[in-house]
Structure 1
Amino acid sequence: MPTFTELKSDNDLKQIIKAAFDTDLDIEGSWGYTQESATIILSSPTPITQFEHMFASMRAYVEMNMTLAEDERYGSINTNEIRREHLVIDGHTYDKVTYKITAMKETVYASFIAAYKEGYGKESFNISKHFKQREEATLSREVIHWYEVSSLL
């Protein structure tokens, strides 16, 4: 399985998100790989779990697409929460969330879409085989994201 480089920030996370996604988030801290590098959520206009999911999806997209060479990029990136812990450590409240991320190389995904469009509706097209091959070509990984949520309580 490929490894993805952890993203770095120098207290500029808010600006990075604004530049990459044209979205203003009330956050500080870092990308949330560890408790020490937690993403600090200062406020959220949406329910916290939705905000956390959105941010995890952004992190995955930056890791798996935006920072890679064009022929190495992943698309069809999906982020799904599989586990959540609510922790109080040294007077700070954290959500430690584990996500399952699935994705496919963009070039491979494009070829599957083209094959589907060409074959769909034809007697010779084996749709079960097509989706089995898509499943086999899909990368699946689990990641942990730490959010510091003390200011939301």
Structure 2
Amino acid sequence: MAGLSNSIERFIKELISQAEDGIVEIGRNDLASQFNCAPSQINYVLTTRFTPYKGYYIESRRGGSGYIKIMKLTFSNESSISRIINEVIKNSITKDMAYDIVNSLYEDGVINKREGQLILHSIEDVALANVNIDYRNIVRADILRNMLLAFLR
């Protein structure tokens, strides 16, 4: 199944890259027919690989003429970083969500590879080993927030 999910993800990303505005509207059933799979497989790919933490916004309408609208969010300026700090990170963030944010910032050219690696290493579970497991996501959010604030200075 991973191969199918990867193929669907690649296909959708290719469509988005070809769209002038970074917005794609597709029919869930049409996409499922094209990949010879159940619509639930399309839902799985969308919910796991096209999340806000990974830089995507999805709008969906169900029914016979239903569609999926996928928008690539770009993190290209200070207001985007501010929005991430204030609206996305909040008080706590999981390692996976934090990784997705950092990778999106890197892919959009907001941070370079070295900066991204430094951030990722600082929020690793190994780096937070002396922090009680119940508080790691809180501390991880504080570290990520402070590192992103440094980019605004």
Q: Specify if TM > 0.5.
A: no
For normalisation by structure 2, the TM-score amounts to 0.31
Higher Rg of the two aligned structures = 1
Normalized per residue, which structure has more strand? Answer: 1
Normalized per residue, which structure has more helix? Answer: 2
For normalisation by structure 1, the TM-score amounts to 0.31
